[in-house]
Amino acid sequence: MVTAVLLLLLVAVILAYRGYNNFHRRRVTRLHEKWQPILVDCLDQAPENLPAISKKDIADFLLLWNYFHETLREAGKDNLNATAIQLGLDEWSLRAVSGRNIRNRLTAIQTIGWLHDTRGWEALANIMKTADPVTALCAAKSLLRIDSEKILPSFLELVAEKSDWSYSTVGKLLKEAGADHITEPLLKEIGKRSGKELVRLLRFVDIAFADRSAPIISRLIRKEKNVEVLLSCLRAVSLPDDLKTVRKLLKHEDWRVRTQAAIALGRFGTQEDIDRLAHAAGDQSWWVRFRSAQALASLPGMTNAMLRDLAENHNNIFASEVLTKVREEMEAYG
């Protein structure tokens, strides 16, 4: 009897939810039909006499409004912001940012960022430091939009320390902030860190201005013993002055370092590296052999005939094999 009642109750709840879902979907469709043209008009000129927006529609409206912001370049964004302020959505966002509804909270955090509303600074900075990774990075994004110079030092500290922060999202945020803003604080933070924290920061070094970051990479690659740091540096290294160090690392005891050194030589090595890479093509590690052969193929001035010659005259059978395969691949695919 009890289960029968429960079953009937569940059916009623599911059907009621379906009814609510359908009703909500229709309302969102109507909302979009009404507001999309208004927001499009807003892009050209500041809004006047906007229709009122119902409290129930605010979250859905703000999602649409955020969608406009995400897809626009600079022009029109000020007018969009004026629209939101005229509708009182800045106040709604400031309240929702500390609410319990995750959806509304994330929308509000994002909205405050687009509005450059400094009144939300404290709350967002707090969320960035304490919330779960997704919400924290959402807050970081908004803080960077409000005042990137002010937030970058503490943001980068957290980037180094928080291993659960998605580095894809962090990279996206740093790219959006731009090299102008991030170069100084990022290199400063790199100088303060070591080990895993340093590795996390080095992932983003390519966003900084290369002329500023290259000397730091040079310094690290020469003195570092930590394999993970060396690997990160080898991915970023680009100065001809570092060729000597990279060549030395082609003989490193760790095969991952040797592999990365071969890739680096393929990127900016010279004809002087032919013998060195040909020798590495006979390495005991398959990856070092393969990457060295590929690096040889991409050296300036390297021709198919030269590769054939190297393969045929190599005294190491593994090197001959991998060089032949790389040459054939070049030939087949261009």
Helices vs strands, H then E, count in the chain: 18, 0
Stretch of residues binding another protein (CB under 8 A), selected from 63-71, 185-193, 233-241, 265-273: 63-71
CB 287 → another protein: shortest distance, Å? 7
Chain centroid to Cα 42, Å, comes to 31
Q: How far is the CB of 301 from another protein (least distance, A)?
A: 23
CB of 300 to another protein, least distance (A): 23
Q: CB-wise, 4 or 52, nearer to another protein? A: 4
**With respect to another protein, which residue has the nearer C-beta, 75 or 332?**
332
Tell me which residue of 282, 330, 280, 332 sits closest to 306, measured CA to CA: 330
Interacting residues with another protein between 192 and 251 (CB under 8 A)? 203
Distance CA 219, CA 245 (A): 10
- Classify burial at 229, counting beta carbons within 10 Å of its beta carbon; exposed 0-12, middle 13-18, buried 19 or more: buried
CB of 135 to another protein, least distance (A): 8
Minimum CB distance to another protein, residue 69 (Å): 9
CA neighbor of 109 nearest in space, from 138, 84, 132? 138
Place of tokens 């945020």: 173
Nearer Cβ to another protein, position 64 or 82? 64
> Residue 97 carries which DSSP code?
T
Report in angstroms the alpha-carbon separations of 230 from 210, 245, 249: 18, 11, 9
Contact status: 106 vs another protein (CB under 8 A): yes
Name the residues that contact another protein, by CB under 8 A: 3-4, 6-7, 10-11, 13-15, 17-18, 21, 63, 66-67, 70-71, 102-103, 106-107, 110, 132-135, 138, 163-172, 175, 203, 286-287, 290, 322, 324-326, 328-329, 332-333
